[in-house]
Amino acid sequence: MIEVRSMNDQPATHVQFSSPGFLTLFPSFSPSKVDGIVKESLPNAKFRVELLATKAVIVCSTSGKMRKNFVRVLVGDPVKVELSPYDLTRGRITYRSRGPGKDRPGSPQFPTPDAPPPPPSS
């Protein structure tokens, strides 16, 4: 099996044979994943998200699986964002994290009644 690589030594995702003996390679783009916080809700399931690393504000839409599973995104929620390799002001929200105080019962913030109390901090 022959592995086709593009000019920047990345695995090519698309190979096009445009004429005999000549082929065009399209590099594979892996979107960069960053963390952010939702600052504003916009129409059509879009959000303004402030990235934690750079403090830049970008416009993001929700991913298809989040729409399919009716995951609600609210202002103030911490999210994981995939940045577009073509336009760094646009992104896709792929995961909504549980923020502080939004954990499930049984977590350290909400202990269950039969769980032993946590050890005292020294």
pLDDT tens per residue across span 6-30: 555 555 555 454 545 444 445 556 6
Spatial distance between the Cα atoms of 92 and 108, rounded to a whole number of angstroms: 31
pTM equals: 0.60
**pLDDT band at residue 117 using 50, 70 and 90 as cut-offs:** confident
Cα–Cα–Cα angle for 65, 35, 48, nearest 5°? 75
- Computed from CA positions of residues 41, 29, 95, 100, in that sequence, does the dihedral angle turn out positive or negative? negative
What's the pLDDT tens digit per position in 47-64? 999 999 999 999 999 999
Write down the pLDDT at residue 118: 75
